[in-house]
Amino acid sequence: MTFNKYICFLVLAVIIATGCKKANIDVDTTGTETGTDGIKGDVYGIWAKGSVKRVVGDITVPEGKSLTIEEGVTVIMDTLAKPEFIVKGNLYAVGTPEFPVKITIEEGYRTAAKRFGKQWGGILAAPTCQELLLDNAIIEYGGSTTTEASASVKEGLYKAVAGENLPALWFINSKGKLVVTNCIFRNFQEDCTYIEGGSILFSNNKFYTTGLTGGEGINIKSGCIADVAFNLFYSTNTNALKLSNSGDRTPQAHVVAYNNTFMTTGWRRPTIKGGSVWLEASVYAEIYNNIFANTRFGIKHDTKKLEDARSAISNNLYYGYDQTTVNQFQPGADIIGGKNEIRGTKAGENDPKFVNYPLSTDMSSPDFDQSWDFRLQAGSPAIGAGINTFTRNWAGGIVINGTVYNSPAPSANIGAFGVK
């Protein structure tokens, strides 16, 4: 090899090495695939598809950094350390239906005694988090109670005090973007989500077996512009949706909730707030095309802190297996009626005709059967009874990490799952 060729070879090698270093500078290398030591501290970069990550202490995505969790990654949270997953930068968890991202605990600890979690903290997005995406992810067995030693308390996140039961997901940046789609939230002590600001989309998710003594499926406060569509809420302890403008953030909370299926919600929280959908504090809420089956109450509001006068409710279907259930979702001082609603006065009226769900199922049971099928059979009164003339907040989409996530188009059928 001539001297000139040798010099050229060295220069090329340096360029290649430098390029590789630059391309991987954000890739987190802490921990191992087999989890001999486990992960804690700062995490960012890429967690490669199909890998297993064992988290043994609080983890943080630093401000200005991003963590991408690829399809099929299993994140195992240590049940002794009860880690919190703090996001100061951006988080993108992107699974597939066949290979979802899973944030969980060791399989042997997923027992009936731990059905309401408390085994790790939650995903807590700080005000500096600009983008958070959960797509085809399973989030389970968290919601531990904070102590003075908790990272969230020390850093002033969530409610920043000891003794709070953490939600599965907390997000607060009113200028940030949050998309949660095709996900499952289950086995949490209290709230699944607690959202205090942002451009928000929840679509095609399932929330079940959550809330030991309290807790909502989706809890929205001021600062949120949100679409909530095609979700299933089963036996949430309190409400499926708590929609509020409390917090005095800008913008005013505006939520369009449509084509959801609410099942047996609210019966395990026998107080004034336990129910299905709760409105308060001048929230601007639009609620269309939803099924309320065997739920406690229907759409309820705080008569002392009313919703925005522009709020609209129409084309929802109500079903009660027994007369007690039917009686308590009739419109009154605190139960709101709507337009073009399917709401009978006798037990068993307006059977939605689910493909596979025993309507006599104990309404106070939090247990969920994976074989249930909430699609509609022929002859269901929900078929063709929906409306599609309302305006979604995010019909044009929310762009996260370069991908556009659109609010799904409303269905002509009521409920989340359509016709078999």
Cα atoms found within 13 Å of the Cα of residue 234, Cβ hemisphere only: 24
pLDDT digits (tens, 9 = 90+) for 328-377: 999 998 999 999 999 999 999 999 999 999 999 999 999 999 999 999 99
Indicate the average pLDDT of the chain: 92
Check residue 65 and give its pLDDT. 98
pTM of the model: 0.92
Q: For residue 16, is pLDDT > 70?
A: no
- What percentage of residues in the chain have a pLDDT greater than 70? 91
Q: Which residue has the tokens 């705080």?
A: 302
Give me 105's structure tokens. Answer: 């605990």
Check residue 13 and give its pLDDT. 42
Give which of 258, 194, 208 is closest to 228, Cα–Cα: 258
- What percentage of residues in the chain have a pLDDT greater than 90? 89
Q: For residue 39, is pLDDT > 80?
A: yes
| Residue 301 burial (10 A CB sphere; 0-12, 13-18, 19+) | buried
Q: Read off the pLDDT band of 20 (50, 70, 90).
A: very low
Check residue 3 and give its pLDDT. 42
pLDDT digits (tens, 9 = 90+) for 89-110: 999 999 999 999 999 999 999 9
Q: What's the whole-number mean pLDDT along residues 170-186?
A: 98
Q: For residue 205, is pLDDT > 80?
A: yes
Q: What is the DSSP letter of 383?
A: T
Q: For residue 397, is pLDDT > 50?
A: yes
Check residue 4 and give its pLDDT. 46
Strands 123-125 and 45-47: unpaired
Check residue 105 and give its pLDDT. 98
Tell me phi and psi for residue 251, to 5 degrees.
-85, 175
Q: What's the whole-number mean pLDDT along residues 51-68?
A: 98
Neighbours of 35 (CB within 10 A): 16
Check residue 271 and give its pLDDT. 78
Q: For residue 152, is pLDDT > 70?
A: yes
Largest CA distance in the chain: 95
Q: What's the whole-number mean pLDDT along residues 245-262?
A: 98
Q: Read off the pLDDT band of 270 (50, 70, 90).
A: confident
Q: For residue 58, is pLDDT > 80?
A: yes
What is the C-alpha to C-alpha distance for residues 404 and 216, in angstroms, rounded to an integer?
28
Q: Read off the pLDDT band of 259 (50, 70, 90).
A: very high
Q: For residue 35, is pLDDT > 60?
A: no
Residue ranges with strand state E in 264-386:
277-280, 284-288, 291-293, 299-301, 312-314, 317-319, 342-343, 354-356, 373-376
Q: Read off the pLDDT band of 379 (50, 70, 90).
A: very high
Q: What's the whole-number mean pLDDT along residues 227-234?
A: 99
pLDDT digits (tens, 9 = 90+) for 275-332: 899 999 999 999 999 999 999 999 999 999 999 999 999 999 999 999 999 999 999 9
Check residue 15 and give its pLDDT. 38
Give which of 85, 84, 83 is closest to 56, Cα–Cα: 83
Check residue 33 and give its pLDDT. 39
